Amino acid sequence: MHLQSDICIIGNGAIGKTAALGFAQVGLSVILLSPDSAVAAAPSPNWDVRVYALNQVAKSLLAKVKVWDALDAARIASVDAMEVAGDGGQDAGRLSFDAYGARADALAWIVEDQNLNQALEAALKFAPNVRIVTGRSTRLSVDGAQATIQLESGDTIAASLVVGADGGQSWVRAQSEIGIDYRPYKQRAIVTNFSCDRPHNGIAYQWFNSAQGIVALLPLPGQRVSLVWSAPDALAETLLHEPLTRVAERVSELCAGQLGRLHPLQPEAIKAIPLALIRPHAITAARVALVGDAAHVVHPLAGHGMNLGFADVASLLDTLAERGAYRDCGDARLLGRYARARKEQVLLMQLATDGLQRLFAADFGPLRLARNVGLNLVNKLPVLKRRLIAQALGKRG
């Protein structure tokens, strides 16, 4: 069987699904290639341990493709403020942001992975011009007129543009012979959920600790929080194999009891995600564009990996929407425009997250003092704080 479309998206995560809806909305024919035919899990009343802090750009894009209002609003929490602390006990530096000062409805919205993907899958069932194909790709070839994807089944898919939304170990990126710079952080993100004795009041907390990593508590609806602990590998292994009640005690101690005692929401519901910096040498190739983790993987300390992916999709949609009737979707000039549009924001986020991770991982007395002084200084400089908030919200300039 030979299939033909304007765009073929490889990858069945939230970024790929959103891209499919966006391209279909502007009248392009789309094939969404999923590597397996796994049946979507039924909605669970339990809180998903994988959550995303979506910013205004992500929210606007999801609203544009008519998904935001389809999310279960009762399971979304807004981040109204953020408190960041360095290490050093009472002498630790402090940095705070709030939505009021940013003149925004919220700094971010905490959304579970299952909530997001279920809404996207429901929307795809009714999307015009979208065909979901299941199969494993074996070869990507490109000629002047189109890109062709060979499947294990022997079927082929031809498209003007292939969008790689297939994650950090991207097959599309490898087939396009795009090299990468790769550096493991020797950390894993430990994620789980707790209830807390004290209300969080919509505040996201983050603590930097040179010995034990970076601990973030993100607000969930009610007196619940989601933990993202970027822990050194050895500590991460310990956390994974000890009772969640003990993990809760550790977090409470590290956070100086900010939210009172923490209690596991679900017994043994904990996951670990290896952390690394991945910088591809390009995000485009002949008739290929990369989005999401295929285009960049950053440290989660700022919570913006998913937001960068949604910004990729928004930028690629804008570029193709303005292409004119005489250019096809894979035109090299269009792809060059997309790459230039994404270069600055992605580079800034890579430098910021990697630099902060390196800075706070160093257990050196004078450096610890300097970084705490730096946090306090930034907290007192409104111009710099506004620029940081603008970056967090996904704004430019």
Task: HSE, CB side, 13 Å, CA atoms: give it for residue 122.
Answer: 16
Percent of the chain with pLDDT over 70: 89
Count other C-beta atoms under 10 Å from residue 33's C-beta.
27
| Residues whose CB falls within 8 Å of the CB of residue 73, separated by 6 or more in sequence, listed in order | none
Burial class (CB in 10 A: 0-12, 13-18, 19+), 193: buried
Domains of the chain, start order: 2-41+121-181+278-359 (3.50.50.60), 51-114+184-275+363-393 (3.30.9.10)
Which element (helix H / strand E) includes 130? strand 130-134
Burial class (CB in 10 A: 0-12, 13-18, 19+), 96: middle
Q: What is the dihedral of CA 217, 220, 222, 225, to 10 degrees?
A: -30
What does the DSSP 8-state code read for residue 325?
A: T
pLDDT at 365 > cutoff 60: no
Count other C-beta atoms under 10 Å from residue 51's C-beta.
26
> For the chain, what's the residue count?
397
Task: Name the pTM for this structure.
Answer: 0.92
Burial class (CB in 10 A: 0-12, 13-18, 19+), 354: middle
Q: Which tens digit of pLDDT belongs to each residue from 381-392?
A: 666 666 776 766
Of 109, 114, 108, which Cα lies nearest the Cα of 50? 114
Q: Which tens digit of pLDDT belongs to each residue from 234-286?
A: 999 999 999 999 999 999 988 888 899 999 998 778 999 999 999 999 999 99
Q: Which tens digit of pLDDT belongs to each residue from 132-189?
A: 999 999 999 998 889 999 999 999 999 999 999 999 999 999 999 999 999 999 999 9
What does the DSSP 8-state code read for residue 42?
A: P
How far apart CA 313 and CA 20 sit, in angstroms, is 10
